[in-house]
Structure 1
Amino acid sequence: MRLLLLLDYQHLTDRHSHLRQGGADPVVDVAVVQTSELGDRSYIAHDGHVAIVVDPQRDLDRLQAVLNERGLRCAMVLETHIHNDYVSGGLQLAHQHNAPYAVNAADEVAFERHGVADGDELSVGGMRVRVVATPGHTDTHLAFVISGGPGPAAVFTGGCLLYGSVGRTDLVDPARTEELTRAQYRSAHRLVDLLDDDAGIFPTHGFGSFCSAGSRSGGEDSTVGQEKARNDAFTATNEDTFVAQLVAGLTAHPAYYAYMGARNRAGAGPVDLSTPQQVSPTELRERISAGEWVVDLRDRTAYAAEHLVGTISIALSQQFATYLGWLIPWGMPLTLIGETPQQITDAQRQLVRIGIDRPDGAATGKLRNLADGVATRSYRRITFAGLAAAQQAGEALTLLDVRRADERALGAIPVSVHIPLHCLLDRLGDVPPGPLAVHCASGFRAGIAASLLDRAGHDVVHIDDEYAVAVTSGQATG
């Protein structure tokens, strides 16, 4: 079997993996389309002529580029589960190619699909697909074992069996977490019992996704044999130990997850990445005054130096959509500010994946032009060394830690106040008065928090530094 990895949307490279057996030409190849911003992967399994696409992301142009480059026809689309962390492009891809869309027959969906269940076998070109029920991450989760010739099989495990860990089990219903964790353990064991050790494992989650739980062993590829040796589901001494460890390690997950399942069951329409309505400086001020979200995509350094009063800083980065989707009141009108039209387009691509289909407007260009004579605002950025100097000089600063609770449990600055970023908007009344110095683990989340606090009228200082520096200097534990 040959593994092809598509990184950063554009560069497709061939490489021979350890999954290839005996020097023979493989019958089934796998191309990987990576969505690093969400920590997810989509897959194209093919026999050189026809393709099976597994768990496609919604911006289908990336997948279509791979199909075109390889001269492949999409003959089937497989969905391992109804996703919580992104809107699937499966229905639209199936429509575009007039291909069957295989979804668990037990899922209640509002569209026609090819219903499949445990034990079903499908044939696509020179490939055979076996359907395996793997409940745990969701009740109706499936894995797909694809084979085609003498080489090892490929198993597409979705959110069941990841590299070193498994998918989280608290998304369906927190009250059922233990029940689903036990199901996850049994599904993982059942799955590997059906496969040879050289079978390749291709998970959808687990590359930084909040859908993963447990250890983060990572890596670019893996086999059943490797996972038996390192995966939490197999290294735990027994089921009870596995359940206790996984449940204890579950952390907060993005709020937009609550909306993704319903959107996927309804079936998402096509993506529109065309340029949104351009907003004038006057309209920007009106939207800000109305309490709408006007999000500045520039980097946090530029934002701290100068920004429009009432805007929110979420820099266009790997984590942009995750944190915007986590924090914005769902359905709130959204306007984007960028330095260039390309920034707006790149932000749109990230947002459609989590179901924010169209921004309500955009403004691009130099900030002075967008301000149009109206006063702007700034706040200080300092390091932990700068914080120590300010404190020694007698400056009264209340330290605000916006990391998650699981991060703070490992160490903290003793005198700091703790309000996680994802709780901040609901707990603005708990924010202490007076000047605030805001920190996180790297400076990214603290930048978002500083902008939200600045928007709420607080006097803020952004600690733009690595928390590890504070530990090394003795300012923090952990």
Structure 2
Amino acid sequence: MSSVDVVALVDEGLGNSAYLVDLGDGRALLVDVSLDLRSAWAATRRRGLRPAFAADTHLHADFLSGARHLADSEGTRVLASAAGGREFGHTALRDGDEVDLGGLRLRALATPGHTHEHLAFLLLDGDTPAGVFTGGSLLVGAAARTDLVAPERTEELARLQYRSLRRLATLPDDVAVWPTHGAGSFCSAPPGTRRTSTIGAEKAGNALLRAPDEEAFTEALLGSLGSFPAYFLTLAETNRRGVLLDGEPGLRALDVDTVRGLLADGAWLLDTRPVAEFGAAHVPGALSIPLRPAFASWLGWLVPPGRPLVIVRGPGQDPAEVAWQAAKIGYGPLAGELAGGLGAWTAAGHPVVRTPLVRAEDLGGRRVLDVRQEAEFAAGHVPGASHVELGALAARAGELPREPTVVMCGHGERAMSAAALLERSGHRDLAVLDGGPRDWARAEGRPLADGT
């Protein structure tokens, strides 16, 4: 097997991997690089490389591509599907087209399914296939969803996905599989799986690749589709046009009166502090999305696009991290941040709200609302708990009883976001479980219920 120098640049929050290929002559190939270019810049600079090529496997549904910005700022040559209709300069590739990288070659393989214009890229060292960048076609232990282009095309694309995976399975067993979407991506892959694989390993262990026929594959894939963040549906068109950064994202300081004016005009106040700090005191109407790797996913799921966003953060939280995570999914530039944080708000004499945390043993007889994903809820939940996924909660808040309620998830972060959304819609007497269903089971000495 050929040996090439490939480095995975993993975004744990979105569950995706970009890849850097050292071409051995001071140049690099980047594959499926996000608009959050910090890891790509760090990797190329550390190795003294110039990003000569940027290949995109598809018009991504879960992050903005950094390819156009690299072309504009670094002179990078963009490689992408001719069927994508991109409106900026790029090398438009069709099935079987090859690009000479200088010793290595990249061959485009039409692999529609996840999207209609999807390409995989086979990396060749001479005539030896070293690995294949599979994007959203063949994943580790899975295949990416097919319901992001248009609802009426979901089954059609699932059948195309079957054929694309069968095509990839004809590659030699020792060929590396380098997918873009991985564990944690709603696009999606099983939790806990490895980030990379080989064709042989996938033929042996990937249940979808082992489906006996197209009908069985299609039924299994369509049956696995869960919910996904609404922002997924907006980014493909944005990527078709291409995105340029206007400097590095950041947060400008806003005084209390300016923030109040923005809120009065419809801006959202987004509080990124940890759950316990938000629960102890927060600005009325603020939405809690704690700053963590999954911040961008929940921002894109819970906040309507196009709204001005004002940030409240803790003193130890990096403002650049907030701004970059927002930018990579198309939320930016942000309006700014409340200068002085919550302390400035209270010093100006404005009220705060408290959403208490409760322990599992202190639930009492209060109603329990579980906001985890459907599969999580079905795998084990507090008996008698009601269930609404966090992503669907804003639309359904008016249906829910207005009674004392403890909101819960797996650890507390999603539950506090849910409680904040309910508070925004007028619900009161809310608390958040500090922990998850297993904490309740241990405290009560009782088993969890399963099913829906």
How would you bin the TM-score normalised by the shorter chain?
over 0.9
The answer to whether structure 1 residue 192 and structure 2 residue 174 are counterparts is: no
Q: 1:155 aligns with which of 132, 142, 159?
A: 132
Q: Structure 1 residues 475, 355: CA separation in 2 closer, same or farther (over 3 Å shift)? A: same
- Which residue type is aligned with residue 167 of structure 1? A
Matches within 5 A, 1:218-257: 218-257=193-232
Q: Structure 1 residues 114, 379: CA separation in 2 closer, same or farther (over 3 Å shift)? A: same
Q: Do the aligned residues in 1 keep the contact of 2:305 with 2:331 (CA within 8 Å)?
A: no
Q: Structure 1 residues 245, 171: CA separation in 2 closer, same or farther (over 3 Å shift)? A: same
Give 1:474 shift. 2.6
Q: Do the aligned residues in 2 keep the contact of 1:83 with 1:261 (CA within 8 Å)?
A: yes
The answer to whether structure 1 residue 173 and structure 2 residue 142 are counterparts is: no
The answer to whether structure 1 residue 463 and structure 2 residue 436 are counterparts is: no
- Which residue type is aligned with residue 433 of structure 2? I
Give 1:216 shift. 4.4
Matches within 5 A, 1:108-119: 108-119=85-96
The answer to whether structure 1 residue 308 and structure 2 residue 283 are counterparts is: yes
- Which residue does the alignment assign to 1:428? 397
Cα displacement string for residues 248-282 of structure 1 (whole angstroms, at most 9, x for unaligned residues) = 11100001011101100111112533543311122
* Aligned equivalents of 1:230, 1:460: Cα separation in 2: 45
- Which residue type is aligned with residue 429 of structure 1? G
Give 1:336 shift. 0.4
Q: 2:111 aligns with which of 129, 134, 146?
A: 134
* Aligned equivalents of 2:233, 2:76: Cα separation in 1: 29
The answer to whether structure 1 residue 105 and structure 2 residue 82 are counterparts is: yes
- Which residue does the alignment assign to 2:361? 385
Q: 1:71 aligns with which of 38, 48, 61?
A: 48
* Aligned equivalents of 1:234, 1:425: Cα separation in 2: 37
* Aligned equivalents of 1:166, 1:456: Cα separation in 2: 38
- Which residue type is aligned with residue 465 of structure 1? G
The answer to whether structure 1 residue 476 and structure 2 residue 413 are counterparts is: no
- Which residue type is aligned with residue 78 of structure 1? A
Give 1:475 shift. 6.4
Cα displacement string for residues 157-200 of structure 1 (whole angstroms, at most 9, x for unaligned residues) = 0000111111111111222222211111110111121x211111
- Which residue type is aligned with residue 428 of structure 1? A
Give 1:352 shift. 0.8
Cα displacement string for residues 362-386 of structure 1 (whole angstroms, at most 9, x for unaligned residues) = 1243523232222322122112222
- Which residue does the alignment assign to 1:89? 66
- Which residue does the alignment assign to 1:51? 28
Q: Do the aligned residues in 1 keep the contact of 2:411 with 2:436 (CA within 8 Å)?
A: yes
Q: Secondary structure at the match of 1:153?
A: strand
The answer to whether structure 1 residue 440 and structure 2 residue 409 are counterparts is: yes
- Which residue type is aligned with residue 76 of structure 1? F
* Aligned equivalents of 1:330, 1:442: Cα separation in 2: 27
- Corresponding residue pairs, total: 445
- Which residue does the alignment assign to 1:8? none
Q: Structure 1 residues 134, 417: CA separation in 2 closer, same or farther (over 3 Å shift)? A: same
Q: Do the aligned residues in 2 keep the contact of 1:336 with 1:344 (CA within 8 Å)?
A: no
Q: Do the aligned residues in 1 keep the contact of 2:369 with 2:387 (CA within 8 Å)?
A: yes
- Which residue type is aligned with residue 421 of structure 1? L
Q: 1:125 aligns with which of 74, 98, 102?
A: 102
- Which residue does the alignment assign to 1:16? none
- Which residue type is aligned with residue 381 of structure 1? L
Q: Structure 1 residues 217, 444: CA separation in 2 closer, same or farther (over 3 Å shift)? A: closer
Q: 2:378 aligns with which of 382, 401, 409?
A: 409
Unaligned runs of 5+ in 1: 1-19, 392-396
Q: Do the aligned residues in 1 keep the contact of 2:373 with 2:389 (CA within 8 Å)?
A: yes
Range moving further from structure 2, 466-475 or 118-127: 466-475
TM-score scaled by structure 2? 0.93
* Aligned equivalents of 2:341, 2:311: Cα separation in 1: 14
Q: Structure 1 residues 231, 217: CA separation in 2 closer, same or farther (over 3 Å shift)? A: farther
* Aligned equivalents of 2:419, 2:118: Cα separation in 1: 40
Q: Do the aligned residues in 1 keep the contact of 2:250 with 2:324 (CA within 8 Å)?
A: no
Q: 1:453 aligns with which of 403, 422, 430?
A: 422
* Aligned equivalents of 1:267, 1:181: Cα separation in 2: 27
Percent identity between the aligned chains?
A: 37
* Aligned equivalents of 2:447, 2:283: Cα separation in 1: 33
* Aligned equivalents of 1:316, 1:129: Cα separation in 2: 38
Q: Do the aligned residues in 2 keep the contact of 1:339 with 1:366 (CA within 8 Å)?
A: yes
Cα displacement string for residues 281-304 of structure 1 (whole angstroms, at most 9, x for unaligned residues) = 222333334442101111011110
TM-score scaled by structure 1? 0.88
Give 1:340 shift. 3.0
- Which residue does the alignment assign to 1:394? none
- Which residue type is aligned with residue 176 of structure 1? R
Matches within 5 A, 1:332-347: 332-340=307-315, 342-347=317-322
- Which residue type is aligned with residue 455 of structure 1? R
Cα displacement string for residues 64-96 of structure 1 (whole angstroms, at most 9, x for unaligned residues) = 221222222322211100000000001111233
- Which residue does the alignment assign to 1:292? 267
* Aligned equivalents of 2:125, 2:181: Cα separation in 1: 25
* Aligned equivalents of 1:432, 1:371: Cα separation in 2: 31
Q: Structure 1 residues 181, 61: CA separation in 2 closer, same or farther (over 3 Å shift)? A: same
Range moving further from structure 2, 181-190 or 231-240: 231-240
- Across the aligned residues of Structure 1 and Structure 2, the Cα RMSD in angstroms comes to 2.0
* Aligned equivalents of 2:429, 2:67: Cα separation in 1: 47
* Aligned equivalents of 1:411, 1:120: Cα separation in 2: 49
* Aligned equivalents of 1:287, 1:92: Cα separation in 2: 30
